A and B are shown apart, each in its own frame.
Chain A
């Protein structure tokens, strides 16, 4: 093959949240870049749909609920040795702060923060992350660069990831493992189908994006590919902002 520092040929990559949105696009794009991918999600039907769209063979899919401790253990126990992971599983919350009870916090933190923490920790402990592998967290602009009303829980979960990335990047450097995040602005996925944000509001908000569109899942997948590939060999502890210019204003 011709010169390509972004290739994932020969690498095995775990993608969480692969049954939808950014995770699905990441799994598919990684397979197109030559990776063997291990995909995971809760919804079997949607995960299978992703699986059918993967290029080439020998991929693997594992249905697991990452909101549950044994779901995380189930996933890690089935993992082969991997060269990278993209933590895409995540949920949002639109609660004004006075309604943000500890219980509501826990339900978001479990999936957005503790699940990627534990998957990373258990994989390292079980020596399933190869030397020179790459851990990518799909964080957000929210909680790291900006915020919006009623998103204190979501922001806290993404802000917590940001601190984690810095700590992990340093701790894992001696193993040659790199740790980075991608921080997207609004990307068109199911995340906004919960019905809390109206189509009209979304149309108005689009004008605040200098590049005049929302992100596509592939825009984020391509950033993850860069961070997984040897093209980013000297990048660790970084937050890759991908937001169509939104935070410039």
Chain B
């Protein structure tokens, strides 16, 4: 999966946040819509789309969408 596809799939897990706000540099945990449910959705999305297992700790350890993408790829 390419970074751009990842960003799109990442954005799809949100309901309210405008799509333009999702870029490689987006600090996703600062988005007002960020919650434990979106976190679980991201974990499930990475499992479904990339067949990679990331954890809550991986989410905590990444700040931008690209950070998380790289972390997921390294699994």
Interface residues of A (CB under 8 A from B): 94-96, 98-99, 149-150, 194-198, 201
Complex contacts, B47 vs chain A, CB 8 Å: 99
Given contacts A95-B44, A99-B48, contact A149 B55 (CB under 8 A): no
Complex contacts, A99 vs chain B, CB 8 Å: 41, 44-45, 47-48
| Interface of B (DSSP majority class) | helix
| Interface of A (DSSP majority class) | loop
Shortest distance in angstroms between B62's beta carbon and chain A's nearest beta carbon? 14
- Taken together as a complex, chains A and B put the C-alpha atoms of A196 and B48 apart, in Å, by 16
Cβ contact within 8 Å between A195 and B55: yes
Contact partner, A150, options B37, B48, B60, Cβ 8 Å: B37
Tell me if B1 counts as interface (CB < 8 A to partner A): no
A-B pairs with beta carbons under 8 A, tally: 34
Cβ contact within 8 Å between A149 and B37: yes
Shortest distance in angstroms between B70's beta carbon and chain A's nearest beta carbon? 19
Given contacts A96-B41, A149-B36, A201-B36, contact A195 B56 (CB under 8 A): yes
- Taken together as a complex, chains A and B put the C-alpha atoms of A98 and B45 apart, in Å, by 10
Tell me if B71 counts as interface (CB < 8 A to partner A): no
Tell me if B40 counts as interface (CB < 8 A to partner A): yes
Tell me if B43 counts as interface (CB < 8 A to partner A): yes
- Taken together as a complex, chains A and B put the C-alpha atoms of A198 and B40 apart, in Å, by 12
- Taken together as a complex, chains A and B put the C-alpha atoms of A196 and B57 apart, in Å, by 8
Complex contacts, A198 vs chain B, CB 8 Å: 56-57, 60
Cβ contact within 8 Å between A196 and B37: no
Complex contacts, B55 vs chain A, CB 8 Å: 194-196
Cβ contact within 8 Å between A150 and B40: yes
Complex contacts, B36 vs chain A, CB 8 Å: 149-150, 201
Within 8 A of A (CB), among B21-66: 36-37, 40-41, 43-45, 47-48, 55-57, 60
A-B pairs with beta carbons under 8 Å apart, 24 shown: A94-B40, A94-B43, A95-B40, A95-B44, A96-B37, A96-B41, A96-B44, A98-B41, A99-B41, A99-B44, A99-B47, A149-B36, A149-B37, A150-B36, A194-B55, A195-B55, A195-B57, A196-B40, A196-B43, A196-B55, A196-B56, A197-B56, A198-B57, A201-B36
